[in-house]
Structure 1
Amino acid sequence: MNYFFYLIALSTVLLFSCQPASQQTMVSPVTSTTVTVPVTSTTTAAIAADTLPWVRYTAGDAQSDTSLFAQPRQVGTMIDPSLIESSGLASSRRNPGYLWTEEDSGNPNQIQLLGQDGSIVARFTIDGAANRDWEDMTVGPGPVAGETYIYLADIGDNKLRYPEKIIYRFPEPSITGQTLPYTGLVINAELIRLTLPDGPQNAEAILVDPETKDLFILSKGDRSELYRATYPQSRTQSTLMTRLLIMPFDKVTSAGISPDNQEILIRTYGQLFYYSRRSGESVVDALKRTPRKIPLANEPQGEAVGWATDGSGYYTTSEKPDANPQAIYWYRRK
C-alpha cells in the first residue's frame, strides 16, 4: 500500500515538473506535504494567457455613433516629399495650432512639427536615438510638474525579433521666437526600456494616463493585448510590463487619451473605437466596457489618431500610399 501511494505522489510531481518558470509550490494530494517543483517560462506564459481576462464584447458589438463628432474634413496634405511614412500624430501644447508627427523604420531620427495644412514648420533630431521602428507618439505629463513631454514609441516589431520596446521621453520643444522653417536638436532624451512578459510582440499604439502617468502599449495582431508600466518607469533598467487585458481588435495602429482624461480612442486601419471614462476610473476598467464606433475617413493605411489639445475633436492621418500625399483629417466635436 505504501508503494502505491509513493507511485501516485511521484507521478504528481513528475507531471508538474514538466511545466515551466521559476518555482511552483503544490501540496501532494496523498501525503499532504508541500512540494516545490520547477516551472518554466513557457508554462508561466500559457497560464497567464489562460487567465488573462478578455473583454466581454466583440468588435461587432460596437455600435456606430455619429452624435459626438462630425464626419471627417480634410484640412491638410503632407506634400513635402521627405515625409512619406507618418505613423503617429499628436497635437502640440507648447506650439498651439500645430501637430507633431514621426516616421517609422528606415527614416531619420527626427520628429516633425506640422501646420494643420500639412506643411513642415520645424524638424527636431533626437540626439542619440535610433529609428528602429517608431510607430506612435503622444504628448503628456512627465517627471517635472507643469512640463509637457513627448513620448516617442519605438515599439514596432513585424518580425518579432526585439526583446525590448523603447520609449523616448523629452520635454516638448518650442518654436517660439524661431525663424521658420526651423531645424532643432533634442538632447538628453530619457530612455524608457520595456519588456513584455510574453516575449516580443508587434505594437503600434501607446497611451499615457494623464492622471497616473502610467504608460500603456497595445499590441498589433488579430487581437490586441494591453500592457502597463506604472509610473515612475525606470531609466536605468528594463521594466517588465504587466499584461492586463485582451481586446478583440484586428491591427491596432494608434490610440489616445483626451487631455481632460475622460475619453479614450483606439484605432485600427479601418475603424475608430471610442470609450468614455468615468471620474476616477482606471484605463483598464474603462476599456472593459463596450465602445462605440465614431467617424473615420477612408484612409488607405490609417496609422495615426490624435486629440486636439482642447478636446474639441481629433485628427487622423495615414502612411503615404502609392506616392499619393497623405491627408490630414479633422473631426469636430458636435
Structure 2
Amino acid sequence: MSTGASWRCRLRSVTLAVLLGLPLAAPAAADPVPAPVPACTITDERLTELSGLVADGEHWYAANDGGTAATVYVLGKDCQVQDVITASTDPYDVEDLARAADGTFWLSDTGDNDSDRETVALVTLTPNGESTFFRLTYPDRKHDAEALVLDGAGVPYIITKSPLGTADVFRPAGPLASPGPTPLEQVATVRLNSTDTPGGPLPGLVGSVTVTGAATSADGTAIALRTYTDAYLFPVKNGDVVAALAEEPVRVPLPNEAQGEAIAFQPDGSLVTGSEAGTDGAGQPVNVVAGAARLVAPEPPAEEEKPRSGSTVSSASEAADDGLPAAPAAAVTIAAVGVVYLLFRLLRRRRSN
C-alpha cells in the first residue's frame, strides 16, 4: 500500500470515529494473570490425599480425600500440621472443604466414582469438634462431585465432576434436615473448554475440563472452580452464585500438580492450591497465586467530577439544559475535527504536488 493510500485509510478511520463519537485511543489492557509460586511442601503422611482447603489470615485448613471420621487439619503457613479438629461422624468419601462466616467447616461427602450411592452428604464440623450430618438426594441421577462452595447466606452449592467439561450445579431445594435426606435441585451448568496446561492423572485434555474443587473469596465477590490443571475465576455480584457461574471466567493456569484437587482464597484475595501426593507418594507443594481475586473484582464506582472553582456550569446535564454542549465533550470534538481538517489539507497538498 502506498504512503498516500495509507494516509487516506487513516484519515477515513479518524473521520468516522469523530462522526460516531468513538474513542480515538485503545482501551487499557487487562491485568496480567499472576504466576503461581510454591509456598511450602506438605510432607505430613496424614495429608497424602489432600482434597479440600480453606484459609484465614493465619492458617490453612485441609481435608483428606475419603477418611473414616470428619477431620480438618490445621496447618501453619509452613505446611506443618499444628492441630487436628475431628468428630466421630464417619463419612463415605469427603472431596472438598468450605467454611461458613461463623467458622463452621463444611465437608463435602459427595464423592461417587462408581456411581453406586443412593445419597450423598454434607457434614458440618465446628472448631470444638461438634458435627452434624445431612443426607442429600439428586433430582435426576447419581453424580460424582468434588467441589463445594457456600454463598453469603451459608447455602451450599455442589458442583459435579465430569470428564466431558460440563459440570452441573446443585443446591438444597429447601432447609437442610439432619439426617435427611434433603432433595437437591439443579440450578446451573458450567461448561469448560480444554486447555494444554500440563498436570493431573487423566490422559490428554480430559483433566483440564474436570472440576475437582471450588472456593469462595472472603468478601464473597469471587468464586473459583479448579480442574486438575487450571483455575477459573467468576465475579459474584450481589451474592448471586447462579448468575456468577453464567459469567465468562478468567482462567489461571496452575503449576503441574500431580493430582490437584484443593483450592482456597486467602483473605487478601490470593489463590491457594494443593495436590494429592500422586503415585510416587512424595510431598506436594502448596502454591499461591498472589492477588488473584482482583482479576474479577468489581470496578469501583466512578467518582462524580466536581465543577472547577468559578465555573458557571456545574455539570454536563446543566450545560445541555442551557442548549450548549458539555464543555469537555465540545472541546474534544472541536480538537478532533481540527486534526482531521489539518490532515485533510496536508493530504490534498501532497497529492497536488
After TM superposition, the structure 1 = structure 2 runs for residues 85-100 of structure 1, keeping only pairs within 5 Å, are 85-92=49-56, 96-100=57-61
Partner of residue 99, structure 2: 139
Are positions 1:226 and 2:190 aligned together? no
Are positions 1:274 and 2:274 aligned together? no
Partner of residue 241, structure 1: 184
Question: Measured at CA, do residues 257 and 230 of structure 1 come closer, stay the same or move farther in structure 2, by a change above 3 Å?
Answer: farther
Q: 1:285 aligns with which of 243, 256, 275?
A: 243
Are positions 1:113 and 2:74 aligned together? yes
- Identity within the alignment, %: 26
Q: Name which one, 1 or 2, has greater alpha-carbon Rg.
A: 2
Question: Measured at CA, do residues 198 and 117 of structure 1 come closer, stay the same or move farther in structure 2, by a change above 3 Å?
Answer: same
Distance 1:68 1:208 in 2: 28
String of CA shifts for 1:9-59, please: whole Å, max 9, x gaps: xxxxxxxxxxxxxxxxxxxxxxxxxxxxxxxxxxxxxxxxxxxxxxxxxxx
Question: Measured at CA, do residues 262 and 109 of structure 1 come closer, stay the same or move farther in structure 2, by a change above 3 Å?
Answer: closer
Task: State TM-score, norm by structure 2.
Answer: 0.65
Partner of residue 150, structure 2: 208
Are positions 1:155 and 2:119 aligned together? no
Partner of residue 277, structure 2: 320
Deviation at 1:117, TM superposition (A): 1.5
Amino acid at match of 2:184: M
Question: Measured at CA, do residues 68 and 133 of structure 1 come closer, stay the same or move farther in structure 2, by a change above 3 Å?
Answer: farther
Are positions 1:296 and 2:254 aligned together? yes
Are positions 1:329 and 2:284 aligned together? no
Partner of residue 44, structure 2: 80
Matched residue of 1:241: which SS?
A: strand
User: Structure 1: any 5+ residue segments left out of the alignment?
Assistant: 1-64, 142-146, 174-185
Distance 2:68 2:50 in 1: 10
Amino acid at match of 1:70: P
Deviation at 1:219, TM superposition (A): 0.5
Amino acid at match of 2:251: K
As a proportion of its length, which structure holds more strand?
A: 1
Amino acid at match of 2:215: G
Partner of residue 252, structure 1: 211
Distance 2:133 2:68 in 1: 19
Deviation at 1:122, TM superposition (A): 0.9
User: Structure 2: any 5+ residue segments left out of the alignment?
Assistant: 1-28, 193-208, 295-353
- Following TM superposition, the consecutive aligned residue runs of length 4 or more in structure 1 with deviations greater than 3 angstroms are 106-109
Tell whether the 8 Å contact from 2:262 to 2:275 is kept in structure 1 after alignment: yes
Distance 2:141 2:264 in 1: 28
Count of paired positions? 245
String of CA shifts for 1:180-239, please: whole Å, max 9, x gaps: xxxxxx23x1112111111221000011102x2211000001221000115642224211
Deviation at 1:164, TM superposition (A): 1.2
Q: 1:195 aligns with which of 133, 137, 144?
A: 137
Q: Which has the higher contact order (CA 8 A, sep 6+)?
A: 1
As a proportion of its length, which structure holds more helix?
A: 2
Distance 2:224 2:254 in 1: 11
Distance 1:234 1:108 in 2: 20
Tell whether the 8 Å contact from 2:169 to 2:187 is kept in structure 1 after alignment: yes
String of CA shifts for 1:120-159, please: whole Å, max 9, x gaps: 11112222x1142110001113xxxxx3210011110000
Question: Measured at CA, do residues 167 and 66 of structure 1 come closer, stay the same or move farther in structure 2, by a change above 3 Å?
Answer: farther
Amino acid at match of 2:227: T
Amino acid at match of 2:112: D
Question: Measured at CA, do residues 296 and 239 of structure 1 come closer, stay the same or move farther in structure 2, by a change above 3 Å?
Answer: same
